[in-house]
Structure 1
Amino acid sequence: MSGRVAARLAELGITLPDVAAPVAAYVPAVQSGIHVLTSGQLPFVDGALPATGKVGTGPDDVSPERAAELARVAALNAVAAVRSLVGDLDSVVRVVKVVGFVASQPDFTGQPGVINGASTVLGEIFGDAGVHARSAVGVAVLPLDSPVEVEIMVEVG
């Protein structure tokens, strides 16, 4: 991997992971015309979830700060899925949309702050092209009891 985005990743000290293996009947990403859409990416690190459970403020909950770190990891997994299709990330014209899901305790309303972990790293990697539309959604539970899941749509050219 070489080019502008590769240089930026190196500058940030980020090594993109291998594409996470699907946990069901789907593919990590598809390209349709000028867009690449990823499946929801969990924050797998070396094939395992580093944390599980609901996000909240209780003593047994995943903290919002930890969940934001996990959203960052999930976003990096999504970028890896994009790279698996397009090869050179310099072909990414812009990040169009991010959808983030947060497995939340019923009284937790800080989903936007959690998903900032994903949005921030995309901005760090892609600069102005990383500015995107976004949804941050609280849900009762996510696959494998993951605290977060992130999907992205990028335009390539």
Structure 2
Amino acid sequence: MTTPEQKLAELGLSLPDVPTPAGAYVPAVRSGDHVYTSGQLPFVDGKLTRTGKLGAGVTTEEAAALARVCALNAVAALKSEVGDLSRVVRIVKVVVFVASDPAYTEQPKVGNGASELLAEVFGDLGRHARSAVGVAVLPLDSPVEVELIAEVS
């Protein structure tokens, strides 16, 4: 059986370092059999890769790719808490926040970027419940933010 770490390597991906929180919080918290990640922005090498809003300069395709980066960062935060991604029993819930112009309505398509990455890495264990929510603004003017809840052993 292929481990999530092996699957990441097969996909040509590596987990980034978990960013130092920008406030009074931690990247992930374990409570019982669940790990809750803080919201993750699309940071690559410590830099926010895009700013702006959907429907006002940022395309759905760009934002879906950014959501994928956010999900990868969330997986890194998850791993920092459990040490080994093979301990993931299931990705339970994903929340995708999308900075949106009031007329923008394709938040679920943006969320697919995160959801598809999690399914690629964890297989059926990566299939999850999800909310994709349009918001007025996100930290640092990020177009997207992703958080997740995972059940672990």
TM-score (norm 1): 0.95
Greater strand content: 2
Q: Per-residue deviation at 1:47?
A: 1.0
Tell me the SS of whatever aligns to 2:148. Answer: strand
Please tell me whether residue 116 in structure 1 is matched to residue 107 in structure 2: no
1:53-81 C-alpha deviation (Å, 9 max, x unpaired): 1011x5xx111100000000000000000
Equivalent position of 1:21 in the other structure: 20
Q: Which residue of 2 aligns with 1:152?
A: 148
After TM superposition, the structure 1 stretch with the greater mean CA deviation from structure 2, 114-123 or 13-22, is: 13-22
Instruction: Give the superposition deviation at 1:24.
Output: 1.1
Tell me which residue corresponds to 2:69: 73
Local SS of the residue matching 1:41: coil
**2:127 matches 1:131:** yes
Moved over 2 A (4+): none
Residue in 1 that maps onto 2:53: 54
TM-score, normalization by structure 2: 0.97
Deviation at 1:6, TM superposition (A): 1.3
Equivalent residue for 2:10? 11
1:84 equivalent in structure 2: 80
- Equivalent residue, structure 2, for 1:143: 139
- Secondary structure of 2:58's counterpart equals coil
Q: Give 5+ residue unaligned stretches, structure 2.
A: none
Distance 2:101 2:70 in 1: 20
Root-mean-square deviation (CA), in Å?
Answer: 0.8
Q: Distance in 1 between matches of 2:110 and 2:3?
A: 28
Structure 1 gap ranges (5+): none
Q: Deviations over 1:71-105 (max 9, x none)?
A: 00000000000000100100000000000000001
AA paired with 1:122?
Answer: L
